[in-house]
Structure 1
Amino acid sequence: MGAGKSTLGRHLSQILERPFYDSDRVIEEKTGADIPWIFDVEGESGFRRREHEAIDELTSMPGIVLATGGGVVTTPENLALMHDRGCVVYLWTPVEVQLARTRNDRNRPLLQTADPQAKLEALFAERDPLYRKVAHHVVSTASGNLKKVADDVLACLVSRGQG
């Protein structure tokens, strides 16, 4: 959360002249409901089921740039789909930076708690090893410099023959 996946994804899609998809937006378009509403009505498990369906569909599309929700790695089937069908770049971001970037965002159901920092720390502890397992490359977004991060990601893609 707060790593800049969507912002960077849109930027890279322009540079690479490839279509951009955000899996959370795809889910919202298909359901006609926003992510917080899906969490409220169906719970996290209902959302994760919808997310897996979207990931299966999107990773089947060639030549796209895809930004996923932060919890996509908590579904083991998603790990295999993403790793086998694309080039996964883990946008590593320290918790303090995530907290600063998400502090006023009310569209993040998992952070609507009394202690968002503790929640981010717990999510990081759970998800960081999963991202490292699935990722072909790890790139830090801590600097907040979009051009630098994009250049780092493009270098990763070139090294895999995908840039």
Structure 2
Amino acid sequence: MTDLLTPVAASSLAEEARDALGQRNLIFVGLMGAGKSVIGRMVAQALSVPFIDTDAEIEKVSRMSIAELFSAYGEAEFRALETRVIGRLLRGGPKVISTGGGAFINENTRRLIKEGGVSVWLKADLDVLWERVNKRDHRPLLKTENPKATLQNLMNQRYPIYSEADLTVPSGNVRKETMVTNVLSAVIGLAKKGQRE
């Protein structure tokens, strides 16, 4: 038994989610390694709307990598730039936007995201995140003596704030297509809940 939808069922689900979203943006939030970029890109493809990764956009406008920005200007300056870029990206929709792990933690950025569309928290546990992030060393916040403990601390600090997102979708060791289906279903569920209220 497979958990994948038939092409017709997947198309129908995507169409229903697209209708539920209307002109609003779908914004992915969550910690590094949760799958925001990969799942966001696939969801955008399913919805036939543009996909934008805010980190890639920030690197494009600044002509520096995220790690270089952190190193040169510090986290506070980086967050200010991130807020400006996200504010610009949220104008007009619909599109799918994947944000950096700290974006939703910033109060100003969080307000912009809440006003700018439907936020989706991809929630993963420590082992899943660690398995995904420890293979690469481009994460400035994990350049510490004990990166796994740092990741756990980030979870402790950030998960209560991520929980303010409109939707929470578990991100675990399941097929990416299953995650996309779960996100689309959550969007439809939110719209139906809104109609009942």
**TM-score interval, smaller chain:** over 0.9
- Equivalence for 1:98: 129
- Equivalence for 2:114: 83
- Equivalence for 2:86: 55
- Equivalence for 1:154: 184
In the alignment, the residues of structure 1 paired with residue 54 and residue 190 of structure 2 have an alpha-carbon distance, to the nearest angstrom, of 23
Instruction: Give a deviation string over 1:72-120, Cα, whole Å, max 9, x none.
Output: 1221011111112111110001011111100121211001112111110
- Equivalence for 1:65: 96
- Look up the equivalent residue of 2:124 and give its one-letter code: T
Tell me the CA shift for residue 150 of structure 1: 0.7
CA RMSD, aligned part only?
1.3
TM-score, normalization: structure 2? 0.79
Identity of aligned residues (%): 32
Q: How many residues are treated as equivalent by the alignment?
A: 161
- Equivalence for 2:34: 3
- Look up the equivalent residue of 2:167 and give its one-letter code: H
Which of 151, 155, 162 lines up with 1:120 in the alignment? 151
Three-state SS of the structure 1 residue aligned to 2:163 is helix
Tell me the CA shift for residue 61 of structure 1: 2.6
- Equivalence for 1:143: 173
In the alignment, the residues of structure 2 paired with residue 145 and residue 127 of structure 1 have an alpha-carbon distance, to the nearest angstrom, of 25
Q: What residue ranges of structure 2 are gaps of 5+ in the alignment?
A: 1-31, 193-197
In the alignment, the residues of structure 1 paired with residue 120 and residue 76 of structure 2 have an alpha-carbon distance, to the nearest angstrom, of 25
Structure 1 segments of 4+ aligned residues over 3 angstroms from their partners: none
Contact persistence 2:51–2:96 (CA under 8 A): yes
Tell me the CA shift for residue 161 of structure 1: 4.0
TM-score, normalization: structure 1? 0.94
Contact persistence 2:90–2:116 (CA under 8 A): yes
